[in-house]
A and B are shown apart, each in its own frame.
Chain A
Amino acid sequence: MLGEFEYLILSAATRLREDAYGAAIRQEIEDATRHRCSIGALYTTLDRLEAKGFIKTRMGDPTPQRGGRPKRMVRVTAMGIRAASDFYAAVTRVSRGVSWETNRVAVR
Protein backbone atom coordinates (compact mmCIF):
# COMPACT_ATOMS: atom_id res chain seq x y z
CA MET A 1 0.00 0.00 0.00
CA LEU A 2 1.24 3.46 -0.91
CA GLY A 3 1.69 6.33 1.49
CA GLU A 4 -0.26 9.51 0.78
CA PHE A 5 2.87 11.45 -0.22
CA GLU A 6 3.94 8.61 -2.49
CA TYR A 7 0.51 8.76 -4.11
CA LEU A 8 0.81 12.52 -4.63
CA ILE A 9 4.18 12.06 -6.36
CA LEU A 10 2.90 9.26 -8.58
CA SER A 11 -0.13 11.33 -9.56
CA ALA A 12 1.93 14.44 -10.27
CA ALA A 13 4.52 12.50 -12.28
CA THR A 14 1.81 10.73 -14.29
CA ARG A 15 0.11 14.04 -15.05
CA LEU A 16 3.39 15.68 -16.12
CA ARG A 17 4.32 12.74 -18.41
CA GLU A 18 7.54 13.58 -20.28
CA ASP A 19 8.07 16.73 -18.21
CA ALA A 20 8.12 14.93 -14.87
CA TYR A 21 11.24 15.89 -12.91
CA GLY A 22 12.02 17.01 -9.35
CA ALA A 23 11.19 20.73 -9.48
CA ALA A 24 8.09 20.25 -11.69
CA ILE A 25 6.67 17.49 -9.49
CA ARG A 26 7.28 19.65 -6.43
CA GLN A 27 5.46 22.59 -8.00
CA GLU A 28 2.56 20.33 -9.02
CA ILE A 29 2.21 18.98 -5.48
CA GLU A 30 2.41 22.46 -3.92
CA ASP A 31 -0.28 23.75 -6.31
CA ALA A 32 -2.58 20.80 -5.60
CA THR A 33 -2.17 20.62 -1.83
CA ARG A 34 -1.48 24.32 -1.16
CA HIS A 35 1.25 23.18 1.20
CA ARG A 36 5.01 23.45 0.93
CA CYS A 37 6.77 20.37 -0.35
CA SER A 38 10.33 20.05 0.93
CA ILE A 39 13.11 18.91 -1.36
CA GLY A 40 14.22 16.44 1.30
CA ALA A 41 10.83 14.74 1.45
CA LEU A 42 10.56 14.73 -2.35
CA TYR A 43 13.92 13.14 -3.15
CA THR A 44 13.89 10.57 -0.34
CA THR A 45 10.38 9.52 -1.42
CA LEU A 46 11.48 9.34 -5.05
CA ASP A 47 14.26 6.97 -3.93
CA ARG A 48 11.79 4.84 -2.01
CA LEU A 49 9.39 4.67 -4.96
CA GLU A 50 12.24 3.71 -7.27
CA ALA A 51 13.37 1.00 -4.83
CA LYS A 52 9.79 -0.37 -4.85
CA GLY A 53 9.80 -0.38 -8.65
CA PHE A 54 6.99 2.19 -8.97
CA ILE A 55 9.08 4.73 -10.87
CA LYS A 56 12.24 4.84 -12.94
CA THR A 57 14.51 7.87 -12.86
CA ARG A 58 17.33 9.07 -15.10
CA MET A 59 19.48 12.15 -15.35
CA GLY A 60 18.13 14.60 -17.93
CA ASP A 61 20.04 17.14 -19.96
CA PRO A 62 21.30 20.34 -18.32
CA THR A 63 19.30 23.47 -19.09
CA PRO A 64 20.31 27.17 -18.92
CA GLN A 65 17.40 28.13 -16.59
CA ARG A 66 18.83 25.63 -14.09
CA GLY A 67 22.31 27.13 -14.24
CA GLY A 68 23.44 24.36 -16.59
CA ARG A 69 22.51 21.62 -14.17
CA PRO A 70 20.67 18.40 -15.06
CA LYS A 71 17.16 17.32 -14.02
CA ARG A 72 16.21 14.04 -12.43
CA MET A 73 13.58 12.81 -14.87
CA VAL A 74 10.86 10.53 -13.51
CA ARG A 75 8.79 7.92 -15.34
CA VAL A 76 6.00 6.02 -13.60
CA THR A 77 6.14 2.29 -14.30
CA ALA A 78 3.16 -0.01 -14.94
CA MET A 79 3.54 -1.26 -11.37
CA GLY A 80 3.45 2.34 -10.12
CA ILE A 81 0.26 3.06 -12.08
CA ARG A 82 -1.34 -0.08 -10.65
CA ALA A 83 -0.32 0.88 -7.08
CA ALA A 84 -1.67 4.43 -7.51
CA SER A 85 -4.95 3.10 -8.99
CA ASP A 86 -5.33 0.68 -6.07
CA PHE A 87 -4.66 3.49 -3.59
CA TYR A 88 -7.20 5.75 -5.27
CA ALA A 89 -9.79 2.97 -5.35
CA ALA A 90 -9.20 2.30 -1.66
CA VAL A 91 -9.53 5.98 -0.76
CA THR A 92 -12.70 6.25 -2.82
CA ARG A 93 -14.20 3.14 -1.21
CA VAL A 94 -13.33 4.12 2.32
CA SER A 95 -14.63 7.66 1.80
CA ARG A 96 -18.03 6.52 0.57
CA GLY A 97 -20.79 7.93 2.80
CA VAL A 98 -18.54 9.99 5.06
CA SER A 99 -19.62 13.57 5.72
CA TRP A 100 -16.97 15.37 3.68
CA GLU A 101 -17.61 13.10 0.73
CA THR A 102 -21.38 13.59 0.77
CA ASN A 103 -20.97 17.34 1.33
CA ARG A 104 -18.60 17.49 -1.64
CA VAL A 105 -21.15 15.67 -3.83
CA ALA A 106 -23.91 18.02 -2.56
CA VAL A 107 -21.79 21.09 -3.30
CA ARG A 108 -21.05 19.77 -6.75
Chain B
Amino acid sequence: MGDEPSRGPMMTRVCWRLVEILSLMLHPDERDVVRGDLVESGAAGSQALRDVLGLVIRRQAAPWTHWRAWLILAILVVPLGMLLSVTSRSTADGSAVYVWMYANNWKWVDLGHAGFWHVLAETVLLVFKGYMTLVCWSWTSGFVLGSVSRRMIQTNSVLFCLMLWFGALVGAPRYFDYYLQYVHQTFGFPSLPDPNAPVFALVFYRDMFPLIVQAVLVVGPALWGMRQGAGMARLRPLLRRILWIAAIATLAAMLIQNRELWVFLNLYRRPGIWDGWQIWLLQVVVYWPVGYLVAGAIRRRWHRRMASI
Protein backbone atom coordinates (compact mmCIF):
# COMPACT_ATOMS: atom_id res chain seq x y z
CA MET B 1 0.00 0.00 0.00
CA GLY B 2 1.48 3.34 -1.11
CA ASP B 3 2.86 5.29 1.84
CA GLU B 4 1.66 3.00 4.61
CA PRO B 5 4.45 1.77 6.87
CA SER B 6 6.13 -1.14 5.16
CA ARG B 7 8.67 -1.50 7.95
CA GLY B 8 8.17 -1.52 11.67
CA PRO B 9 6.86 -3.93 14.26
CA MET B 10 5.56 -7.22 12.96
CA MET B 11 2.00 -6.53 14.20
CA THR B 12 1.84 -3.20 12.38
CA ARG B 13 2.93 -4.79 9.14
CA VAL B 14 0.41 -7.60 9.56
CA CYS B 15 -2.34 -5.05 10.27
CA TRP B 16 -1.53 -3.02 7.16
CA ARG B 17 -1.37 -6.17 5.08
CA LEU B 18 -4.84 -7.10 6.38
CA VAL B 19 -6.06 -3.56 5.63
CA GLU B 20 -4.81 -4.02 2.08
CA ILE B 21 -6.57 -7.37 1.70
CA LEU B 22 -9.82 -6.24 3.34
CA SER B 23 -10.04 -3.06 1.32
CA LEU B 24 -10.13 -5.19 -1.84
CA MET B 25 -13.75 -5.85 -0.88
CA LEU B 26 -14.54 -2.16 -1.37
CA HIS B 27 -15.40 -0.48 -4.65
CA PRO B 28 -12.10 0.59 -6.33
CA ASP B 29 -12.91 4.34 -6.02
CA GLU B 30 -13.87 4.02 -2.37
CA ARG B 31 -10.81 1.84 -1.70
CA ASP B 32 -8.51 4.60 -2.95
CA VAL B 33 -10.30 7.31 -1.00
CA VAL B 34 -10.28 5.33 2.25
CA ARG B 35 -6.62 4.35 1.92
CA GLY B 36 -5.83 8.01 1.24
CA ASP B 37 -7.77 9.09 4.34
CA LEU B 38 -5.88 6.57 6.47
CA VAL B 39 -2.52 7.76 5.19
CA GLU B 40 -3.44 11.42 5.65
CA SER B 41 -4.70 10.91 9.20
CA GLY B 42 -1.59 8.89 10.12
CA ALA B 43 -3.71 6.10 11.55
CA ALA B 44 -1.97 3.27 13.39
CA GLY B 45 -2.15 -0.19 11.82
CA SER B 46 -4.70 -1.58 14.28
CA GLN B 47 -6.83 1.55 14.02
CA ALA B 48 -6.75 1.41 10.22
CA LEU B 49 -7.74 -2.25 10.36
CA ARG B 50 -10.71 -1.49 12.64
CA ASP B 51 -11.82 1.35 10.37
CA VAL B 52 -11.63 -0.64 7.15
CA LEU B 53 -13.22 -3.70 8.75
CA GLY B 54 -16.08 -1.52 10.01
CA LEU B 55 -16.66 -0.05 6.56
CA VAL B 56 -16.50 -3.44 4.84
CA ILE B 57 -19.00 -4.92 7.32
CA ARG B 58 -21.36 -1.98 6.83
CA ARG B 59 -21.08 -2.24 3.03
CA GLN B 60 -21.68 -6.00 3.04
CA ALA B 61 -24.52 -5.76 5.56
CA ALA B 62 -26.36 -2.95 3.74
CA PRO B 63 -28.09 -5.15 1.10
CA TRP B 64 -29.43 -7.44 3.84
CA THR B 65 -31.82 -4.72 4.97
CA HIS B 66 -33.80 -5.41 1.76
CA TRP B 67 -36.00 -8.47 1.18
CA ARG B 68 -34.26 -9.14 -2.16
CA ALA B 69 -31.09 -10.41 -0.46
CA TRP B 70 -33.06 -12.86 1.67
CA LEU B 71 -35.05 -14.02 -1.34
CA ILE B 72 -31.83 -14.75 -3.26
CA LEU B 73 -30.50 -16.65 -0.26
CA ALA B 74 -33.68 -18.71 0.04
CA ILE B 75 -34.36 -19.48 -3.63
CA LEU B 76 -30.84 -19.58 -5.07
CA VAL B 77 -27.93 -19.85 -2.63
CA VAL B 78 -29.34 -22.60 -0.40
CA PRO B 79 -31.03 -24.81 -3.06
CA LEU B 80 -28.20 -24.48 -5.60
CA GLY B 81 -25.56 -25.14 -2.94
CA MET B 82 -27.41 -28.23 -1.77
CA LEU B 83 -28.16 -29.52 -5.26
CA LEU B 84 -24.56 -29.06 -6.37
CA SER B 85 -23.30 -30.82 -3.24
CA VAL B 86 -25.50 -33.82 -3.95
CA THR B 87 -24.57 -33.85 -7.64
CA SER B 88 -20.90 -33.39 -6.84
CA ARG B 89 -20.98 -36.26 -4.36
CA SER B 90 -22.72 -38.47 -6.90
CA THR B 91 -20.17 -37.59 -9.61
CA ALA B 92 -17.26 -38.06 -7.19
CA ASP B 93 -18.48 -41.48 -6.04
CA GLY B 94 -19.07 -42.57 -9.63
CA SER B 95 -15.61 -41.52 -10.78
CA ALA B 96 -13.91 -42.77 -7.59
CA VAL B 97 -14.68 -46.33 -8.65
CA TYR B 98 -12.88 -45.79 -11.98
CA VAL B 99 -9.98 -43.96 -10.37
CA TRP B 100 -9.61 -46.78 -7.82
CA MET B 101 -9.85 -49.34 -10.60
CA TYR B 102 -6.86 -47.86 -12.43
CA ALA B 103 -4.83 -46.22 -9.64
CA ASN B 104 -5.08 -48.96 -7.00
CA ASN B 105 -5.08 -51.97 -9.32
CA TRP B 106 -2.53 -50.89 -11.89
CA LYS B 107 -0.75 -53.67 -13.75
CA TRP B 108 1.83 -52.82 -16.38
CA VAL B 109 1.05 -56.02 -18.22
CA ASP B 110 -2.44 -54.72 -19.04
CA LEU B 111 -0.92 -52.09 -21.31
CA GLY B 112 -0.25 -54.78 -23.88
CA HIS B 113 -3.95 -55.63 -24.28
CA ALA B 114 -5.94 -53.76 -26.92
CA GLY B 115 -9.08 -54.18 -24.80
CA PHE B 116 -7.45 -52.26 -21.95
CA TRP B 117 -7.01 -49.19 -24.13
CA HIS B 118 -10.52 -49.48 -25.46
CA VAL B 119 -12.02 -49.62 -21.96
CA LEU B 120 -9.68 -46.86 -20.76
CA ALA B 121 -10.78 -44.56 -23.60
CA GLU B 122 -14.43 -45.24 -22.81
CA THR B 123 -13.86 -44.63 -19.09
CA VAL B 124 -11.94 -41.40 -19.64
CA LEU B 125 -14.67 -40.13 -21.94
CA LEU B 126 -17.37 -41.05 -19.45
CA VAL B 127 -15.59 -39.45 -16.49
CA PHE B 128 -14.64 -36.37 -18.54
CA LYS B 129 -18.26 -35.91 -19.66
CA GLY B 130 -19.45 -36.18 -16.05
CA TYR B 131 -16.81 -33.71 -14.85
CA MET B 132 -17.50 -31.24 -17.67
CA THR B 133 -21.22 -31.35 -16.95
CA LEU B 134 -20.57 -30.68 -13.26
CA VAL B 135 -18.20 -27.80 -14.09
CA CYS B 136 -20.79 -26.23 -16.43
CA TRP B 137 -23.58 -26.63 -13.88
CA SER B 138 -21.41 -25.03 -11.20
CA TRP B 139 -20.27 -22.20 -13.48
CA THR B 140 -23.88 -21.50 -14.51
CA SER B 141 -25.06 -21.52 -10.89
CA GLY B 142 -22.33 -18.99 -10.05
CA PHE B 143 -23.19 -16.94 -13.12
CA VAL B 144 -26.85 -16.71 -12.12
CA LEU B 145 -25.92 -15.80 -8.54
CA GLY B 146 -23.43 -13.16 -9.69
CA SER B 147 -25.86 -11.57 -12.12
CA VAL B 148 -28.71 -11.24 -9.62
CA SER B 149 -26.59 -10.06 -6.71
CA ARG B 150 -23.75 -7.89 -7.97
CA ARG B 151 -23.56 -5.82 -4.77
CA MET B 152 -23.46 -8.88 -2.56
CA ILE B 153 -21.10 -11.00 -4.60
CA GLN B 154 -18.53 -11.41 -1.80
CA THR B 155 -21.08 -12.27 0.87
CA ASN B 156 -22.91 -14.64 -1.45
CA SER B 157 -19.62 -16.30 -2.44
CA VAL B 158 -18.91 -17.03 1.22
CA LEU B 159 -22.48 -18.20 1.91
CA PHE B 160 -22.48 -20.36 -1.21
CA CYS B 161 -19.17 -21.98 -0.22
CA LEU B 162 -20.47 -22.56 3.32
CA MET B 163 -23.57 -24.18 1.87
CA LEU B 164 -21.44 -26.42 -0.36
CA TRP B 165 -19.25 -27.34 2.58
CA PHE B 166 -22.25 -28.11 4.76
CA GLY B 167 -23.81 -30.07 1.88
CA ALA B 168 -20.63 -32.09 1.33
CA LEU B 169 -20.18 -32.99 4.99
CA VAL B 170 -23.75 -33.42 6.15
CA GLY B 171 -26.38 -32.89 3.46
CA ALA B 172 -25.22 -35.16 0.62
CA PRO B 173 -24.28 -38.22 2.76
CA ARG B 174 -27.63 -38.04 4.59
CA TYR B 175 -29.51 -37.55 1.33
CA PHE B 176 -27.96 -40.68 -0.21
CA ASP B 177 -28.52 -42.70 2.99
CA TYR B 178 -32.16 -41.70 2.99
CA TYR B 179 -32.43 -42.43 -0.73
CA LEU B 180 -31.04 -45.96 -0.29
CA GLN B 181 -33.37 -46.63 2.65
CA TYR B 182 -36.30 -45.36 0.57
CA VAL B 183 -35.39 -47.51 -2.43
CA HIS B 184 -34.98 -50.63 -0.28
CA GLN B 185 -38.27 -50.06 1.51
CA THR B 186 -40.26 -49.11 -1.59
CA PHE B 187 -38.96 -51.74 -4.00
CA GLY B 188 -38.01 -54.42 -1.49
CA PHE B 189 -34.49 -54.72 -2.90
CA PRO B 190 -32.50 -57.50 -1.24
CA SER B 191 -29.68 -56.24 0.93
CA LEU B 192 -26.82 -57.40 -1.27
CA PRO B 193 -23.26 -56.43 -0.39
CA ASP B 194 -22.18 -53.20 -2.08
CA PRO B 195 -19.90 -54.14 -5.01
CA ASN B 196 -18.03 -50.87 -4.55
CA ALA B 197 -17.41 -51.44 -0.84
CA PRO B 198 -13.62 -51.99 -1.30
CA VAL B 199 -13.36 -48.55 -2.91
CA PHE B 200 -15.19 -46.70 -0.17
CA ALA B 201 -13.48 -48.63 2.58
CA LEU B 202 -10.50 -46.39 1.81
CA VAL B 203 -10.61 -43.04 3.61
CA PHE B 204 -9.28 -41.23 0.53
CA TYR B 205 -12.14 -42.29 -1.76
CA ARG B 206 -14.80 -42.07 0.95
CA ASP B 207 -13.96 -38.73 2.58
CA MET B 208 -11.26 -36.85 0.71
CA PHE B 209 -12.01 -37.50 -2.94
CA PRO B 210 -15.55 -35.99 -2.79
CA LEU B 211 -14.12 -32.85 -1.17
CA ILE B 212 -11.39 -32.58 -3.82
CA VAL B 213 -13.95 -33.01 -6.61
CA GLN B 214 -16.17 -30.38 -5.00
CA ALA B 215 -13.33 -27.90 -4.53
CA VAL B 216 -12.00 -28.26 -8.07
CA LEU B 217 -15.14 -28.86 -10.11
CA VAL B 218 -17.73 -26.93 -8.12
CA VAL B 219 -16.23 -24.18 -5.93
CA GLY B 220 -13.66 -22.94 -8.49
CA PRO B 221 -16.03 -22.79 -11.49
CA ALA B 222 -18.89 -21.36 -9.39
CA LEU B 223 -16.74 -18.47 -8.12
CA TRP B 224 -15.47 -17.86 -11.64
CA GLY B 225 -19.06 -17.87 -12.93
CA MET B 226 -20.06 -15.37 -10.21
CA ARG B 227 -17.42 -12.91 -11.38
CA GLN B 228 -18.55 -13.30 -14.99
CA GLY B 229 -22.21 -12.98 -14.00
CA ALA B 230 -21.54 -9.76 -12.09
CA GLY B 231 -20.46 -8.16 -15.38
CA MET B 232 -23.60 -9.20 -17.26
CA ALA B 233 -25.16 -5.72 -16.91
CA ARG B 234 -22.55 -4.47 -19.42
CA LEU B 235 -23.82 -6.80 -22.16
CA ARG B 236 -26.40 -5.96 -24.79
CA PRO B 237 -30.03 -6.69 -23.81
CA LEU B 238 -30.47 -9.35 -26.51
CA LEU B 239 -27.32 -11.20 -25.45
CA ARG B 240 -28.39 -10.92 -21.82
CA ARG B 241 -31.73 -12.52 -22.70
CA ILE B 242 -30.03 -15.37 -24.58
CA LEU B 243 -27.67 -16.00 -21.68
CA TRP B 244 -30.54 -16.05 -19.21
CA ILE B 245 -32.42 -18.62 -21.32
CA ALA B 246 -29.29 -20.80 -21.52
CA ALA B 247 -28.72 -20.46 -17.76
CA ILE B 248 -32.32 -21.35 -16.88
CA ALA B 249 -32.21 -24.34 -19.26
CA THR B 250 -28.96 -25.49 -17.60
CA LEU B 251 -30.40 -25.23 -14.09
CA ALA B 252 -33.51 -27.10 -15.30
CA ALA B 253 -31.26 -29.82 -16.75
CA MET B 254 -29.41 -30.04 -13.45
CA LEU B 255 -32.70 -30.57 -11.63
CA ILE B 256 -34.08 -33.03 -14.18
CA GLN B 257 -30.92 -35.14 -14.26
CA ASN B 258 -30.89 -35.49 -10.51
CA ARG B 259 -32.69 -38.84 -10.87
CA GLU B 260 -32.79 -39.63 -7.18
CA LEU B 261 -35.17 -36.71 -6.77
CA TRP B 262 -37.50 -38.15 -9.39
CA VAL B 263 -37.51 -41.49 -7.61
CA PHE B 264 -38.79 -39.68 -4.52
CA LEU B 265 -41.41 -37.96 -6.69
CA ASN B 266 -42.39 -41.29 -8.24
CA LEU B 267 -41.76 -39.99 -11.78
CA TYR B 268 -39.01 -42.50 -12.54
CA ARG B 269 -41.69 -44.84 -14.02
CA ARG B 270 -41.92 -42.65 -17.10
CA PRO B 271 -38.60 -43.14 -18.85
CA GLY B 272 -39.90 -41.14 -21.82
CA ILE B 273 -39.26 -38.01 -19.75
CA TRP B 274 -35.52 -38.59 -20.01
CA ASP B 275 -35.30 -40.19 -23.44
CA GLY B 276 -36.96 -37.44 -25.48
CA TRP B 277 -35.08 -35.11 -27.85
CA GLN B 278 -35.82 -32.23 -25.49
CA ILE B 279 -33.58 -33.78 -22.86
CA TRP B 280 -30.88 -34.41 -25.44
CA LEU B 281 -31.09 -30.71 -26.41
CA LEU B 282 -30.92 -29.69 -22.74
CA GLN B 283 -27.78 -31.78 -22.32
CA VAL B 284 -26.15 -29.89 -25.18
CA VAL B 285 -27.27 -26.50 -23.83
CA VAL B 286 -25.61 -27.34 -20.49
CA TYR B 287 -22.21 -26.78 -22.13
CA TRP B 288 -23.04 -23.17 -23.08
CA PRO B 289 -20.42 -21.70 -20.69
CA VAL B 290 -17.69 -23.25 -22.85
CA GLY B 291 -19.05 -21.51 -25.95
CA TYR B 292 -19.54 -18.26 -24.05
CA LEU B 293 -16.01 -18.20 -22.65
CA VAL B 294 -14.41 -19.20 -25.97
CA ALA B 295 -16.42 -16.51 -27.80
CA GLY B 296 -15.38 -13.95 -25.17
CA ALA B 297 -11.71 -14.88 -25.52
CA ILE B 298 -11.87 -14.63 -29.34
CA ARG B 299 -13.64 -11.26 -29.09
CA ARG B 300 -10.99 -9.88 -26.70
CA ARG B 301 -8.17 -11.10 -28.92
CA TRP B 302 -9.82 -9.55 -31.98
CA HIS B 303 -10.25 -6.22 -30.15
CA ARG B 304 -6.59 -6.27 -29.10
CA ARG B 305 -5.50 -6.96 -32.65
CA MET B 306 -7.71 -4.14 -33.99
CA ALA B 307 -6.34 -1.76 -31.33
CA SER B 308 -2.75 -2.58 -32.27
CA ILE B 309 -3.36 -1.88 -35.98
Contact = CB atoms under 8 A, between A and B. Distances in A.
A39 B3 contact: no
A96 interface: no
Given A66-B36, A69-B32, A44 B41 contact: no
B2 interface: yes
Contacts of B33: 22, 43, 59, 69-72
Given A59-B33, A70-B32, A40 B51 contact: yes
A44 B58 contact: yes
Contact of A23 (B2, B30, B41, B50): B41
A23 B38 CA distance: 8
- Interface residues of chain B: helix, strand, loop or mixed (majority): helix
A65 B52 CA distance: 19
A67 B37 contact: no
B35 interface: yes
B55 interface: yes
B34 A43 contact: yes
A39 B39 contact: no
Contacts of A40: 51, 54-58
B36 A70 contact: yes
A70 B36 CA distance: 7
B41 A27 contact: yes
B55 A39 contact: yes
Nearest to B55: A40
B59 interface: yes
B35 A39 contact: no
Nearest to B39: A67
A67 B2 contact: yes
B39 A44 contact: no
Contacts of B59: 44
A108 B1 CA distance: 49
Given A23-B37, A69-B32, A39 B54 contact: yes
Interface in A24-65: 26-27, 38-41, 43-44, 59, 62-63, 65
A3 interface: no
A25 B36 CA distance: 14
A1 to B, nearest CB: 19
B93 interface: no
A67 B40 CA distance: 8
A62 B54 CA distance: 24
23 contacts: A22-B33, A27-B41, A38-B50, A38-B51, A38-B55, A39-B54, A40-B55, A40-B58, A41-B54, A41-B58, A43-B34, A59-B29, A59-B33, A62-B36, A63-B36, A66-B37, A66-B40, A67-B4, A68-B2, A69-B33, A70-B36, A71-B33, A71-B36
Given A43-B55, A62-B36, A69-B2, 4 more contacts: A39-B54, A40-B51, A63-B36, A66-B37
Interface of B: 1-4, 29-30, 32-41, 50-52, 54-59, 62
